[in-house]
Amino acid sequence: MKIAGIQKLTLVDFPGHVAATLFTQGCSFRCGFCHNPELVLPEKFEGLLLEGEVFEFLEARYGKLTGICLTGGEPLLQPDAGKFISHMKALGFDVKLDTNGSFPDRLEQIIKDGDVDYIAMDIKNSLNKYVQTISSQKSKVKSQKNCHSGLDPESRLLIKSIQRSIQLIISSGIDYEFRTTVCHPYHEVADFEDIGKLIQGAKRYFIQNYQDSKRINESIEYSAFTDKELNEANKIMKKYVKESEVR
């Protein structure tokens, strides 16, 4: 596993746990507003931790930590993510996985292995805006009536992967959440009708407002939602999911 860093203590990343967070290097998306460019852009990559160092740290924290968050980047970009999760579980920790849903085959196997205790999946946008939202080159995002309209085969496969990952998580029997980080020009309140339909029946959903910090594409002017917009979006989502909150 390509582990780029460790947050040694978090009380918020893994609900109900005193946890550490492991950050993996590399991502399958290029969201312009991403605040972790050093984990996403190869030209910004820094040195990696040895797996032995990571497990030595975890073993030393056993009894003090109850959970481990595996985040990124995109953890499932790594072909050995499942094995790594199983190793953490064998050490006695509960494991939370953060994913963007672009690797449903690996996600399905991890669910079958039974070593992950909580899954958090980012819902980047409505399907009609998905491909544009995850590309750092797109400064203006326009909705298409048909999410498959004009898409190349790779983009069509991505949309199917996102849909499949959502259904895998909902039907997994594992505790989970979906979440969307919102900002202009990528998101509008109206998008949440389609986002709601995409994850209809889900257990838990969070709206996270954009925070101005590091980002992949500095040339785009981003802005956060207003409180009114956040509340309107959350009201829409409450029609579709069991629990929706602004976080």
Q: How far is CA 191 from CA 43, 152, 169, in A?
A: 33, 23, 22
Torsion region of 219: left, alpha or beta (phi above 0 gives left; psi -120 to 50 gives alpha) = alpha
- Which tokens sit at 49? 């931790």
Tokens representing 217? 């594409």
Is residue 135 pLDDT above 70, yes or no? yes
pLDDT at 137 over 60: no
pLDDT band (50, 70, 90) for residue 139: very low
Per-residue model confidence as pLDDT tens digits over 145-185 = 555 556 889 999 999 999 999 999 999 999 999 999 999 99
245, β-bridge pairs:
206
Q: How far apart are CA 106 and CA 79, in angstroms?
A: 8
pTM of the full predicted structure? 0.93
Return all residues near 227 (Cβ < 8 A) that are at least 6 apart: none
What is the DSSP secondary-structure string of the chain?
--EEEEEEEESSSSTT--EEEEEES--S---TT-S-HHHH-GGG----B-HHHHHHHHHHTBTTB-EEEEESS-GGGSTTHHHHHHHHHHTT-EEEEEE-S--HHHHHHHHHHT---EEEEE--S-GGGHHHHT-TT-SS----SSTTTT--HHHHHHHHHHHHHHHHHHTSSSEEEEEEEE-BTT--TTHHHHHHHHTTT-S-EEEEE---S--S-TTS--BPPPHHHHHHHHHHHTTTSS-EEE-
Distance CA 79, CA 9 (A): 26
Q: Which amino acid is at 183?
A: C
Average pLDDT, integer, range 193-211? 97
Mean pLDDT of the chain: 94
Looking up tokens 């290029």, which residue turns up?
30
